Amino acid sequence: MTRDTPTTPQTFGTLPDGRAVTAHTLTAPSGLSLCVLDLGATVQSLHVPGPAGSTTNVALGFPDAGGYAEHADTFMGAVVGRYANRIGGARFRLDGEVVELGANEGGNTLHGGPDGFHRRTWQVLEARADALVLELVSPDGDQGFPGELTLRASYAVADDGVVLDLEARTDAPTVVGPASHAYFNLAGEGSGTVDDHLLTVEADRYLPVGPGSLPLGGPAEVAGTPFDFTAPAVLGDRVRAAHPQVAAVRGVDHSFHLRGAGLRRAARVEDPASGRWMELHTDQPALQVYTGNSLDAVAIGTGGRRYRQGDGIALEPQRHPDSPNRPELSDPVLRPGELYRSRTQWRFGHR
C-alpha cells in the first residue's frame, strides 16, 4: 500500500440513535498506528513502536460505539468544541450582546455544551494510509453559539508521532477554541495509574480555580506549589499534595500559561518503567493538564479493564478557560474572513 492509497473505514458499532460509527486506521513505516473515529474525530487508540519492534497502545479509549455513547462525559479522545474547557455562567458578551449557551456542568458550559462536538458524526473528506481529514459544520445557534462554524480536523502520522491540525471559519462573529481531549498512559492502556509518570510543563504560571473550576483571577506563579512542573515531577506526588488547589479538583485540572509563542514544546511525559516518553508541541497559549480525576471505575476500556482515577493524563492545548468572559487571558473571538488554526504534535521515543 502506498501513502496515497485510500483507507477503508471499518465498522465500529452503532449509537443508540441508530447512527453508524466508523473507524480509520493510519499507519507509519515504523509501525506506529492511529485509529480515529468519525464520531467526535476521536483518537480511539494509538500504538507506538518499542525498541524490539513491538507496539503498545498508549491512548485510552473504548472498544465500541456504545462505550462512547454511555460515557460521553469523559470526552474520551475527542476533539471537543466549539470552545474547550469552561465558560462561566453559560454566557458571555460579544460585541455588546449577551450570548446564552447550554449549560452542562452546573451553571457552566463545558467543552461546547450538552451536545458538544464529541457527540457529532464528522464527515470524512480524505482518508489515506497516513492521513485523515474530517469536517464538521456547526450551525448558527448551535448550543447557543452564534455563527455557522466549519471546523476541519486533519490527522497525519509519521514514524515518531502524530500531528493534529485544526482549522475553523465562521460566517458571523463567534468564539472558537477546540482542543483534543486524548488521554495517555505511556505504560500502556489499561495498565493502571500514571502515578509513576514524570511530567514536565513549559510554564512558569498557572490559573488557580475557584467554584465551578473557573479561574479565580490571573495567572499565579507555579514556584513553591505542586503545580511546578518546570522540572520533571512524579505525578503521584503532585496529585496527592496537601494543597487547597489540589484538593479542590482531586488532583490536577488546571490551565498552564505556556512560555513563548508559535509551535514549541509544551510538555513532556515519561514512564520510567518502560522508558517510553512523549513530547507535546503546540502553538496554543495554554495547556490544560487533567489527571483523570473523575474516572470512577465504571467505564471499561479497550483492554477490558475499568478506568479508575488517574489511569490516564489528558494534555489539552487550548485557549485559557472562560476566556470569552476574560479576554485578558486569551483572545477567543473569530470573525468572518479570518481563519482559526492550531497545531498539536505528539512525538514519541524510547530511552
Percent of the chain with pLDDT over 70: 98
The confidence score (pLDDT) of residue 351 equals: 86
Indicate if 197 belongs to the active site. no
What residue numbers bound the domain in which 264 lies? 10-350
Residue 2 has pLDDT above 80, yes or no: no
Options 197, 254, 316, 320, the catalytic residue:
316
- The Cα 57–Cα 75 span in angstroms is 18
The confidence score (pLDDT) of residue 1 equals: 44
Options 181, 257, 281, 320, the catalytic residue:
181
Q: What is the DSSP letter of 172?
A: S
Residue 79 CA, distance from chain mean position:
6
Task: Please enumerate in sequence order all residues whose Cβ is within 8 A of that of 126, keeping only pairs 6 or more positions apart, or say none.
Answer: 132, 133
3 falls within a domain = no
145 falls within a domain = yes
Residue 3 has pLDDT above 70, yes or no: no
Degrees (nearest 5) of the Cα angle 278, 281, 282? 145
Give pLDDT tens digits for 67-96. 999 999 999 999 999 999 999 999 999 999
Q: Which three cell numbers stand for residue 302?
A: 479497550
Give pLDDT tens digits for 178-190. 999 999 999 999 9
1 falls within a domain = no
108 falls within a domain = yes
- The Cα 302–Cα 68 span in angstroms is 11
101 falls within a domain = yes
228 falls within a domain = yes
Contact 68, 13 (CB under 8 A): no
- The Cα 328–Cα 330 span in angstroms is 6
Instruction: Report the 3 state secondary structure along 199-241.
Output: EEECEEEECCECHHHCECCCCEECCCCCCCCCCCEEHHHHHCC
The confidence score (pLDDT) of residue 136 equals: 98
**CATH code of the domain in which 85 resides:** 2.70.98.10
Indicate if 202 belongs to the active site. no
Beta pairing partners, 93: 98
Number of domains in the chain: 1
Give pLDDT tens digits for 228-242. 999 999 999 999 999
4 falls within a domain = no
5 falls within a domain = no
